[in-house]
Structure 1
Amino acid sequence: MEIVAAGAGVTGPHGTLLEPTSLRASSGELRLVSGPPRSGRTALALLLAGRLRPDSGTVLRNGRRAPAELRGTVAVVDAPGVTEPEGSVELREVVAEGLGIAGRRFGGQAVRDWLAERGLRQQANLRFERVPPHCRTRLLLDLAREARGVEALVLDCPDRHGGEAISWYGAAQEAASQGYAVVALCSPHTAIELDHIPARIGTDNDLPPSPRRTDQPTDSDLSTDSVANVDPGSF
């Protein structure tokens, strides 16, 4: 799968939401994209997923305009105010909703089994806002991949939750290694922290994707210890 945004921009009722941006994302690759706050990061995520129509430029899937196909094959993960789970709900409820949206079984036993596979069954009643940032991102990526037909994942600014960027980046890299086209949006500061030259919002990024780092941890950080030992007051 290949998604190509060519000069894609969005204008809102009060001005520009997203300056024209060009970038390419392909299956099996992780593309890091940076932009400061209010640069239109969520607007770009929704454009790449066919959920928002560009006012300028185009967004193509495999070389053609196909917004309906984008909507069916691109998952927007953790977008503020759009797909971000409510922090006050319990982890089990977040999983149940994610499985239901994905068209999977989402009853109590299905949720318990899903959490158990990730070493999280004992944390089922934990408020989602108390889940550590790296576990949160990995869990939401896993839920997005439960949907049949999803080929691409757009991760919307996981760095806003704090924690070490290398942790969520490792989860995004893992998804790309499984064949998904992955776009991870972040702040310019986070891109520097990751030691990457990212694509940038509001520019023509006619460049190959930044090379993926090979020194990322590959074992899952979703474990009972990683959540159970967290001081709830620290989040």
Structure 2
Amino acid sequence: MDSTPETPATPEKPPATPAPTPGTPTIASVPPAPTREGAALSVDGLRMRGPRGPVYGDVRFEAGPGSLVAIEGPSGSGRTCLLLTLAGRMRPTSGKLLVDGLPLPQHMAAVRRFTALGPVEGVNDLDPALTAAEHIHERVLLLRRFDGALPDLFRPRRGRRAADEERRTHEALELAGLRAEDLPRGLDTHVRQLSALQVLRLGTAMALIGRPRLLCVDDADRGLGSGERAEAWRMLRAVAAAGTTAVATCSQAPEVPQGPEGPRGPEDNGAVTVRLEPPHTPGRPGHPHGTDDTDDTEKEEAADALVQAGRP
């Protein structure tokens, strides 16, 4: 009988996983995106006067985090200026405004850090000669500039940072409903070839890349048919449902289902409608109601908003 002790079997090693090529980003290696809570808004007696008279006046509303706020009003009602005031880009004349508990205008710079502008005519218009991809790339570079040091702007991104930028861009496009397969040449389609709804989606996606807590969109229903308006509001509801407070100006706010206790339904997201009317101002000869003056004032004030704010 062989008395030689048996040698214990050596456990099999699992097959080696090939090492990734240096600099190649993998989604699995990137930590999950942080959950963001939208910014709450508290507005009480807010007013603004411009060089030619009142722009908007006595605005009052409350909106919790992740709400959808529709600012409804005709041209000249001051809706764009109110939007830019909420975004920390314009100074109100009087009244109380808290954005995430921060009083404005005292903390405009702090509010701008977690707020993003979607399309706002005369402020951040898209270049019709550039493609969707070029606009997105420009937005990513701009975010690098304000999130880091100036030399980092021109350094290529590798590994985790590049993967994070790619994922944030993908998330923003998906949330805005802008699909490359729906465009004539994918993301290489020029802006001049896009429909009004697609331009709205692109501008919104660019704003969402920075993962803002407050998104502000101007003229959300401009140039859209009834079906496209419904799509635009569905997009903004999705943004609010994802946690970002969304504020949009419009000529006609969407209807919200009403119940005994107010707005209800899975898509209302704490929906709030703010209705504005053109302020009563003395008119020039030939303009007895002053509406043309008010409209001009709003456009001029909005065009100067970024200069006053110092950043987008």
TM-score higher than 0.5: yes
- Residue equivalent to 2:135: 94
Consecutive unaligned residues of structure 1, counting only runs of 5 or more, are 204-235
1:41 equivalenced with 2:79 (yes/no) = yes
Distance 1:123 1:19, change over 3 A: same
1:7-33 Cα offsets, whole Å, 9 max, x none, are 222111112222231222322211112
Between Structure 1 and Structure 2, how many residues are aligned?
Answer: 196
1:131 equivalenced with 2:172 (yes/no) = no
- Residue equivalent to 1:8: 46
In the TM superposition, what are the counterparts of 1:1-235 in structure 2 within 5 Å? 1-65=39-103, 66-103=107-144, 118-119=179-180, 122-148=185-211, 150-163=212-225, 164-187=228-251, 190-191=252-253, 194-196=254-256, 198-201=273-276
Q: Give 3-state SS (helix, strand or coil) of 1:16's partner.
A: strand
Q: Give 3-state SS (helix, strand or coil) of 1:123's partner.
A: strand
Distance 1:55 1:173, change over 3 A: same
Conserved 8 A contact 1:33-1:198: yes
Q: Point out 4+ residue stretches in structure 1 off by more than 4 angstroms.
A: 104-107, 110-117
- C-alpha separation between the residues in 1 aligned to 2:58 and 2:71? 14
- Residue equivalent to 2:13: none
- C-alpha separation between the residues in 2 aligned to 1:13 and 1:131? 37
Distance 1:132 1:146, change over 3 A: same
Q: Give 3-state SS (helix, strand or coil) of 2:42's partner.
A: strand
Consecutive unaligned residues of structure 2, counting only runs of 5 or more, are 1-38, 146-152, 157-161, 257-271, 279-312
TM-score normalised to structure 2 length: 0.55
Q: Give 3-state SS (helix, strand or coil) of 2:56's partner.
A: strand
TM-score normalised to structure 1 length: 0.72
Percent same amino acid among aligned pairs?
28
Quote the offset at 1:202 in angstroms: 5.5
- C-alpha separation between the residues in 1 aligned to 2:126 and 2:88? 21
Distance 1:202 1:20, change over 3 A: farther
Conserved 8 A contact 1:5-1:48: no
- C-alpha separation between the residues in 1 aligned to 2:190 and 2:82? 29
Conserved 8 A contact 2:136-2:206: yes
The structure having more radius of gyration, on CA atoms, is 2
